[in-house]
């Protein structure tokens, strides 16, 4: 057990290095050779990697690891020889200021809601500007019927995973959950916002609503040093007041009051405002009236940017439980749910038929000699002397070498 877990840790170190250094051909080459020959021993390889890592400057360590994501997204995966010679610069962090600049330049802002490590890695790699850890997590990830039940602790747990997946480039915004910021005592909101930043690793927080009281809270939190994203229109946390997930601002008076809400949030210091489920003309008018950017969801094309939920835009929610929650404004850019269903069905079928794992996926072999000795042991019972300690070590090492490698080319 100990051996396996330390093996996994070591393997993880290699894996990270391999991923982070696809630009650095020399070291990658060394690793590839050691894999294809299955010699020299893995530990030797790791020691060489550690030495080589230690001898690099911290700038290399930081820039190299993080920039690779961007090497792939910004250059369509083509790393030229030139790229291999100098470390690529650390990707530039998206900030509240760069978002404002985008609006001024007429460039659209992209935002995706995601809740965990692997999705955050994907969103980061795609070069999306803002990653929202939305409280829609309650519905999409945890299976609740509304966003209301999720707690601050649960939100922070998801924020931490997202932060690990996208630590550098996208602006990370954490949704303040229902019940964590609505009180007259605005210090409660500020304290909870600090938790999202300190514990969750978020760059900013999002509050729903644009009343005077809410704007007062936003002002207090911004003064406390936490950037705030506003959110008006359909504010799902208020579902029991709104009577359902319904579009907002569909009468002239309601649309006017949405504009007032958005202006209030801007005056309170919000760096941008989400407009959810409002008619396109209303969203356009609000966007033109505000200096700060607007991010639309179900609000037409006139906003400064667009946000969709990761699972929605990738068509991951073909599961019947989710289907009832997929709103009409959602375009599906992939059919991941179908792929998941098909993959699982095939796995089940192949296990039941015996086709999996077969020879191809049973990679761990004994040498002929060990096999013969083992068969003898089986025949003679267990009273014989076991193998010598040196042959045990050999076996351990060869097991480690075989666990991931064999002679297969690593396709990652």
Ligand X SMILES: Nc1nc(=O)c2c([nH]1)NC[C@@H]1CN(c3ccc(C(=O)N[C@@H](CCC(=O)O)C(=O)O)cc3)CN21
Ligand Y SMILES: CC(C)C(=O)C(=O)O
Q: Which of residues 370-409 bind ligand X (CB under 6 A)?
A: none
Residue whose structure tokens are 């209301």: 148
Determine whether 243 is exposed, middle or buried from the number of CB atoms within 10 Å of its CB (0-12, 13-18, 19+): exposed
CB 232 to ligand X: min, Å = 14
Set 141, 182, 208, 276: catalytic member: 276
By beta-carbon proximity to ligand X, the closer residue of 181 and 310 is: 310
Could you tell me which stretch among 191-199, 209-217, 325-333, 341-349 binds ligand X (CB under 6 A)?
325-333
Position 331 contacts ligand X (CB under 6 A)? no
Site map for ligand Y, 121-160, x if CB under 6 A?
Answer: -----------x-xxx------------------------
Q: Which of residues 302-321 bind ligand Y (CB under 6 A)?
A: 307, 309
Residue whose structure tokens are 């008006």: 232
CB 328 to ligand X: min, Å = 3
Contact residue for ligand X among 147, 192, 303, 306 (CB under 6 A): 147
Q: Which of residues 75-94 bind ligand X (CB under 6 A)?
A: none
CB 228 to ligand Y: min, Å = 14
Instruction: Please give the Cα distance from 33 to 244 (Å, whole number).
Output: 60
CB 189 to ligand X: min, Å = 21
Active site residue 276: yes
CA distances from 221 to 148, 186, 199, 296, 386 (A): 22, 8, 17, 23, 68
Question: Which tokens go with 42?
Answer: 């893995």
Q: Compute the half-sphere exposure of residue 73: CA atoms within 13 Å on the CB side of its CA.
A: 16
Instruction: Please give the Cα distance from 48 to 55 (Å, whole number).
Output: 11
Instruction: Please give the Cα distance from 292 to 102 (Å, whole number).
Output: 10
Contact residue for ligand X among 196, 312, 337, 405 (CB under 6 A): 312
Instruction: Please give the Cα distance from 394 to 247 (Å, whole number).
Output: 67
By beta-carbon proximity to ligand X, the closer residue of 23 and 317 is: 317
- What are the DSSP calls for 321-363, one per residue? HHHTT--TTPPPS--HHHHHHHHHHHHHHHHHHT-SSTTTT--
Position 68 contacts ligand Y (CB under 6 A)? no
Which entry of ligand X, ligand Y, none binds 175, CB below 5 to 8 A by partner kind? ligand Y
Nearby residues of 87 by Cβ (< 8 Å), 6 or more positions away? 23, 59, 60, 63, 64, 67
Position 162 contacts ligand Y (CB under 6 A)? no
Q: In a 3-state reduction of DSSP, which class is residue 199?
A: coil
Position 295 contacts ligand X (CB under 6 A)? no
Q: Which of residues 98-117 bind ligand Y (CB under 6 A)?
A: 113
Instruction: Please give the Cα distance from 375 to 396 (Å, whole number).
Output: 19
Contact residue for ligand X among 53, 247, 336, 403 (CB under 6 A): 247
Position 302 contacts ligand X (CB under 6 A)? no
Which entry of ligand Y, ligand X, none binds 246, CB below 5 to 8 A by partner kind? ligand X
Annotated catalytic residues are 276
Binding site for ligand X (CB under 6 A): 136, 139-140, 147, 234, 236, 245-247, 277, 309, 312, 325-328
């Amino acid at each position: 057990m100990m051996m396996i877990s330390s093996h996994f840790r070591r393997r993880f170190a290699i894996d990270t290095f391999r991923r982070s250094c696809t630009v650095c051909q020399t070291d990658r080459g060394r690793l590839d050779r050691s894999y294809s020959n299955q010699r020299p021993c893995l530990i030797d390889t790791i020691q060489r990697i550690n030495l080589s890592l230690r001898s690099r400057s911290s700038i290399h360590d930081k820039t190299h690891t993080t920039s690779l994501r961007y090497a792939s997204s910004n250059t369509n995966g083509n790393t030229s020889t030139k790229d291999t010679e100098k470390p690529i610069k650390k990707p530039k962090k998206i900030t509240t200021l760069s978002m404002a600049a985008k609006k001024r330049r007429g460039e659209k802002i992209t935002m995706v809601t995601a809740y965990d490590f692997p999705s955050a890695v994907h969103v980061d790699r795609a070069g999306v500007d803002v990653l929202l850890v939305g409280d829609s997590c309650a519905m999409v990830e945890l299976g609740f019927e509304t966003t209301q039940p999720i707690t601050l602790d649960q939100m922070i747990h998801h924020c931490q995973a997202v932060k690990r997946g996208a630590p550098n480039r996208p602006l990370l915004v954490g949704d303040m959950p229902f019940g964590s910021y609505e009180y007259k005592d605005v210090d409660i909101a500020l304290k909870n916002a600090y938790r999202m930043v300190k514990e969750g690793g978020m760059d900013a927080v999002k509050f729903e609503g644009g009343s005077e009281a809410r704007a007062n809270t936003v002002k207090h939190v911004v003064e406390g040093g936490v950037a705030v994203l506003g959110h008006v229109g359909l504010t799902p946390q208020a579902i029991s007041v709104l009577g359902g997930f319904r579009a907002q601002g569909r009468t002239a008076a309601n649309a006017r009051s949405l504009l007032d809400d958005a202006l209030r949030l801007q005056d309170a210091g919000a760096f941008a405002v989400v407009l959810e489920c409002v008619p396109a003309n209303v969203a356009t008018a609000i966007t033109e009236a505000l200096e700060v950017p607007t991010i639309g969801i179900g609000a037409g094309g006139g906003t400064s940017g667009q946000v969709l939920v990761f699972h929605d835009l990738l068509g991951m929610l073909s599961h019947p439980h989710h289907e009832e929650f997929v709103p009409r404004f959602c375009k599906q850019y992939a059919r991941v749910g179908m792929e998941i269903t098909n993959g699982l069905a095939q796995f089940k079928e192949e296990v039941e038929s015996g086709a999996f794992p077969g020879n191809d996926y049973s990679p761990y072999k004994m040498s002929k000699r060990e096999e013969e000795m083992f068969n003898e042991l089986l025949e003679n019972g267990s009273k014989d002397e076991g193998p010598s300690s040196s042959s045990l070590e050999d076996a351990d090492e060869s097991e480690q070498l075989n666990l991931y490698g064999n002679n297969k080319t690593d396709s990652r």
